[in-house]
Amino acid sequence: MGKTALVTGGSRGIGRAIAERLAADGATVVLTYASDEAAARETVQRITKDGGRAHALHAELGQHGAAAALWAAYDALGLDGVDIIVNNAGIALPVPLGQVSEEDFDRVLAVNVRAPFFVVQEALGRLRDGGRVINISSGAARIAMPEILAYGATKGALDTLTLNLAKALGARGITVNSVAPGIVDTDVNAGWLRGNAEAEAHAASLAALGRVGRPEDIADVVGFLASDAGRWVTGRVVDATGGAGL
Ligand code: NDP
């Protein structure tokens, strides 16, 4: 592939699988983490052990100036431009309507929407023509889930960002898409899902394909969109829920 990719939140979970997939496809991958440096290092080691190229950068996305700081750190690696940006870092907010505080709302909006916006804005001069922007959304933007409604709203906003960026960047041959996972077995769901057979059976029953998603299920969709094979798909939300809410 010979390309370079930025994967935000690439240290754990879905982002790690995406980083590994893009590296396996030949990209030099820069992955970011917020707090878990050990996980980021481990992901880099996993990639390099398999013959790939990867770097880890710290980025506390959601804070003012974080996107500019991230790209400055990226430039300091000596990489010339970027071909693929995966806005994967995101936080959950499993809080129902009556209990969402203004601080909670601001935080989930800042990490899940404002950060991807400015990561792309700051990348405009670095992102090569023919490049890719892939935003990790959620089935919760399509399926009403009042128990996580503020989170769902951020992913709806992210999908609208995808739509507009696709139009704005299309003339440069840059595709912009969202990938929308359903329930995936990552740390974010570990508390209620792992080791709880009843919860897992319920989560599996929500997908037509009858199981909980794995990070690799999402990474393979991202891999397609990032590849040359994905060149004619833009401005879309690609459902990767295993058929949830059909
Ligand atoms: P995880 O919690 O497993 O991993 C989150 C990753 O994002 C970590 O690398 C984490 O870094 C990083 N991160 C978190 N907050 C920040 C921040 N403020 N700034 C920078 N990096 C940050 O999440 P998942 O892998 O489950 O989720 C990845 C994406 O997929 C998210 O956008 C999520 O909304 C979406 N998604 C997930 C679903 C699921 O069921 N898991 C379902 C639908 C969508 P660190 O380790 O340092 O904290």
- Structural domain contains residue 245: no
- Catalytic residue ranges: 151
- Structural domain contains residue 63: yes
Cα(121)–Cα(137) distance, integer angstroms: 18
- Structural domain contains residue 48: yes
Nearest Cα residue to 46 out of 64, 31, 35, 63? 31
- Structural domain contains residue 65: yes
Q: Which of 6, 8, 11, 14 to mutate to test the pocket of ligand 1 (most atoms within 8 A of CB)?
A: 14
186 lines ligand 1 (CB under 6 A): yes
Write down the pLDDT at residue 206.
Answer: 97
Cα(147)–Cα(131) distance, integer angstroms: 36
Which ligand 1 atom lies nearest to the CA of residue 87?
32
Mean pLDDT, 10 residues at a time, over the chain (246 residues)?
93 98 98 98 98 98 98 97 98 96 98 98 98 98 96 98 98 98 96 94 98 98 98 98 97
Q: State which residues form the domain around 212.
A: 4-240
Cα(68)–Cα(102) distance, integer angstroms: 26
177 lines ligand 1 (CB under 6 A): no
| Other CB atoms within 10 A of residue 77 CB | 12
Write down the pLDDT at residue 1.
Answer: 57
Q: Is 163 exposed, middle or buried (0-12, 13-18, 19+ CB in 10 A)?
A: middle
34 lines ligand 1 (CB under 6 A): yes
52 lines ligand 1 (CB under 6 A): no
The structure tokens listed for 135 are 């935003």
Q: Whose CA is nearest to atom 44 of ligand 1?
A: 138
CATH assignment at residue 163: 3.40.50.720
Tell me the sheet residues that pair with 84: 5, 132
- Structural domain contains residue 236: yes
Count the alpha carbons within 13 Å of 160 in the hemisphere toward its beta carbon. Answer: 9
Distance, CA 87 to ligand 1 centroid (Å)?
Answer: 10
- Structural domain contains residue 234: yes
Q: Which string of DSSP letters, residue by residue, matches 86-124? A: EE---------GGG--HHHHHHHHIIIIIHHHHHHHHHT
The structure tokens listed for 63 are 């804070």
- The enclosing H or E element of 216 equals helix 215-226
ipTM of the shown complex: 0.99
Distance, CA 59 to ligand 1 centroid (Å)?
Answer: 13
The structure tokens listed for 216 are 């690799």
Cα(52)–Cα(237) distance, integer angstroms: 29
- Structural domain contains residue 84: yes
Q: How many domains does the chain have?
A: 1
Tell me the sheet residues that pair with 176: 133
Q: Is the dihedral of CA 224, 22, 93, 207 positive or negative?
A: positive
Which ligand 1 atom lies nearest to the CA of residue 181?
43
Cα(178)–Cα(180) distance, integer angstroms: 6
- Structural domain contains residue 109: yes
